[in-house]
Chain A
């Protein structure tokens, strides 16, 4: 699956980071063509920075020739849901990826369903995968039905006091977290971080082991 950013800043963020991993990678991962076939799936990033690289790389392993649009709303985490009302109707499936941080998974799930309700979306939980880190909802907004897949970043046993995308990255890097995985990740040199991204690109098996919820959730876009 390729991704098509719907904003120039996000496009440049993704493209510039992918380019550092491998100059040919942007062409493989990003859908540049202006007249694609119908794009019925959307990926919404609740948090930024490393998600800009990780999510497109995982998409690259999945769903064949499909293309999904990708956005990073101005509001973070569950706040991003508020901005979706105007665009939901254009998509059949939406994946929403956010950090767990210090929330408990059921609480986070409740927050998300409440936010969806606030914008008029009626949703029903259909499936719960990867120990509650992937939740599939079937939703209705007006007369539009769509699938909403929540993917929660974080690894239980990595030792970070707040759970986020960097949990997965430090696990791949093989380093010990002292306090917060983000700090540990940022202490690595740029080349060490790029090596981790290259492993995600090259070793699907390892990537799937470490990013279980992302593979499980993003796979659901192919319906």
Chain B
């Protein structure tokens, strides 16, 4: 389990540390570092590793979904784009990014995984091992199969479009596990139709797309379902195929009706019971209440980011209740409570 995350010069965070639990809920205003925490945790196991999205490796995926036009390179990961070094530290394992010659970014770790002989370097009198490089043209050159920390998977509405092509490429592997049918039937509890499976078949013009299959044999394109159902199906498929140790879900409330949300939270409770770790971000107190109801000892972290300093206050569910009685909503009052 990941217990502590420390960041230095990563995106908007100059410096900061958060303590994490089996199930952690990040709550805070916009620009308070919630997504940054999740992205750091997503990169932490190894930015070069393959992840179940079409961009293939973790750092490339982060680059792709932050892109607005045609910008290239990984400078955006560094605070204000000008920091020379950047650190993501999970418990005692460090991931150090250093700007090198010609806009190349060198990635090191202080952990040498057993069975690998990584190139060794002494940086600032400390021993590090090279994992690879991030290149100015957005390509990467690094070891894909090394894990420095527990493996993580980032789930978000922003990532759904990157998941489809990956799922298509891996479809036969996924289909033959029987998981799509289980997920389809599971989702049927929250919609008026009865789904009995998910398929990848040609759509108009012959290109392949995903469908849910109804009991009467008709098909509905996955992307034509309600956004919440679509999101849940894709995320469950990704999880079941990739089986990470840690699930990271950004903006959990987005698109989810309260009933489906309850189901997702119940799934989190199952994951935690199985020994997995779940870290979510949300703006919704309803989400916080639901998770605290389903998962004993869920931790609520109230985050704030001021002048680059990331801060987090651990809040107990009964404290939230007391605040509510006093007319205080932590999403509005975070600056006074931290």
Using a CB–CB distance below 8 Å, which chain A residues touch chain B? 4-11, 34-36, 39, 44-45, 69, 71-75, 83-84, 86-87, 90
Contact = CB atoms under 8 A, between A and B. Distances in A.
A45 to B, nearest CB: 8
A39 B332 CA distance: 13
B326 A36 contact: no
Nearest to A8: B329
23 contacts: A4-B332, A5-B332, A6-B328, A6-B336, A7-B329, A10-B327, A34-B29, A35-B306, A35-B335, A69-B333, A69-B336, A71-B327, A71-B328, A73-B327, A74-B325, A74-B326, A75-B325, A86-B319, A86-B322, A86-B326, A87-B323, A87-B326, A87-B328
A74 B327 contact: yes
Nearest to A82: B325
Contacts of B313: none
A6 B325 contact: no
Contacts of A72: 327
Contacts of A73: 325-327
A6 B306 contact: no
Contacts of A34: 29, 31-32, 334-335
Contacts of B331: 8
A148 to B, nearest CB: 15
Interface string B306-331: 10000000000001001111111101
Given A71-B328, A73-B327, A83 B322 contact: yes
Given A35-B306, A83-B322, A7 B335 contact: no
Interface string B19-38: 00000000001011000000
Q: Is the interface of B mostly helix, strand, loop or mixed?
A: helix
A34 B334 CA distance: 8
Interface in B268-325: 306, 319, 322-325
Contacts of B326: 71, 73-74, 83-84, 86-87
A35 B332 CA distance: 11
Given A69-B333, A69-B336, A7 B29 contact: no
Contacts of B333: 6-7, 69
Nearest to B329: A7
Contacts of B306: 35
A6 B322 contact: no
Contacts of B324: 74
Most buried by A among B324, B326, B331, B334: B326
Given A34-B29, A35-B306, A83 B335 contact: no
Given A71-B327, A73-B327, A74-B327, A7 B322 contact: no
Interface of B: 29, 31-32, 306, 319, 322-329, 331-337
Contacts of B319: 86
A75 B324 CA distance: 11
A86 B322 CA distance: 7
Most buried by B among A10, A75, A83: A83
B330 to A, nearest CB: 9
A112 B324 CA distance: 21
Contact of A36 (B322, B325, B329, B335): B335
Most buried by A among B29, B324, B325, B332: B332
Contacts of A90: 336-337
A43 B196 CA distance: 57
Contacts of B322: 83, 86
B326 to A, nearest CB: 4
Identify the 6 closest CB pairs spanning chains A and B, nearest first.
Answer: A71-B327, A83-B326, A6-B333, A7-B329, A83-B325, A73-B327
Contacts of B323: 86-87
Contacts of B31: 34
Contact of A6 (B29, B32, B329): B329
A196 to B, nearest CB: 26
B332 A8 contact: yes
A7 B327 contact: yes
Contacts of B336: 6, 39, 69, 90
Contacts of A44: 327
B332 A7 contact: yes
Nearest to B328: A6
A44 to B, nearest CB: 8
Contacts of A10: 327
A55 to B, nearest CB: 13
Nearest to A73: B327
Contacts of A69: 333, 336
A11 B332 contact: yes
A71 B333 CA distance: 10
B325 A7 contact: no
A84 to B, nearest CB: 6
